[in-house]
Amino acid sequence: MSSYTAGIIVIGDEILSGRTQDSNSNFIAKNLIKEGIKLEEVVVIKDEKKTIIDKVVNYSNKYSYVFTTGGIGPTHDDITSESISEAFNLEYLTHKEAFKILDKYYAKGDFNESRQRMAKMPIGSELILNPMTAAPGFKIKNVYVLPGVPEIMQIMFLELIKRIKKGKPKLVKTINTDLYESKIAIHLKKIQEKYNDSSIGSYPYFNLSAKTGGVNIVVSSWNMSSLQPVVDDIINMINLNGGKSSIV
């Protein structure tokens, strides 16, 4: 088990209405596992102060790291920063360096009241710089506050992840087979029981028009030094049951 855990809070009515497909949590998830941080939960919540406060307090207590996306722009529906200030009972103030960065970025006269809101955050926040459109995110306690626009969020995330404490990456191997899930289920269960330091996931897929299908078997472990014994047992089992197998 990695000693570092994480939760992601996706903030935005546009995700809950189905208007936007969230891709930020998948991007963060993929990177966390590589960095040895165990993502425990993702939640998508609406742009509502009380909901944001409750969830941030809850996740901040439960996990080593919390990542939020969305709601830090200049409009009235961007309420993440002030909600997080309230969550931690911290003053919601203009961050001097953030103000300077934004003031420099915009043409003279364009740094208006709405844009100045983007420099406000909980007192004591550390900036997460935004090399694309200037408006920074911030870190307060164990919460990393990021924008919702994927291109900008990604570049900021890849920068911040370099500087946080991580565990040993999770080992992962995927074995593909043409056998159906139900053919191998009972055998896989036994292999899972034999190697209880690993986790074996079984992900079927179907190509319904071609009437083909198969399973991707994902073996992973936070603790084992090698997955090879588990992988060998699974491949043997597939062979014994007349299937084809390959590492993907």
**163 near a second copy, rule: CB under 8 A:** no
**104 near a second copy, rule: CB under 8 A:** no
**196 near a second copy, rule: CB under 8 A:** no
Do β-strands 199-207 and 212-221 pair in parallel, antiparallel, or remain unpaired? antiparallel
| Residue 128 bridge partners (DSSP) | 137
* Residues 119-138, interacting with a second copy (CB under 8 A): 132-133
**205 near a second copy, rule: CB under 8 A:** yes
State in angstroms the smallest separation of the CB of 241 from a second copy. Answer: 12
CA atoms of 245 and 238, how far apart (whole Å): 7
**204 near a second copy, rule: CB under 8 A:** yes
Of 89 and 207, which has the nearer Cβ to a second copy? 207
| Residue 139 bridge partners (DSSP) | 126, 144
Question: Which member of 145, 200, 234, 238 binds a second copy (CB under 8 A)?
Answer: 200
Of how many residues is the chain composed?
Answer: 248
Do the beta carbons of residue 30 and residue 23 sit within 8 Å?
no
**114 near a second copy, rule: CB under 8 A:** yes
State in angstroms the smallest separation of the CB of 238 from a second copy. Answer: 14
**30 near a second copy, rule: CB under 8 A:** yes
CA atoms of 213 and 124, how far apart (whole Å): 54
Q: Which has the closest alpha carbon to 244: 183, 188, 176?
A: 176
* Residues 38-97, interacting with a second copy (CB under 8 A): 39-47, 73-78
Question: Which member of 72, 98, 146, 152 binds a second copy (CB under 8 A)?
Answer: 152
DSSP for 170-227?
A: PEEEEEEESS-HHHHHHHHHHHHHH-TTSEEEEEEEEETTTTEEEEEEEEEESS-S--
Which parts of this chain interact with a second copy (CB under 8 A)? 13-23, 25-33, 39-47, 73-78, 110, 112-115, 117, 132-133, 149, 151-152, 170, 172, 181-186, 188-189, 192, 199-206, 208, 218, 220
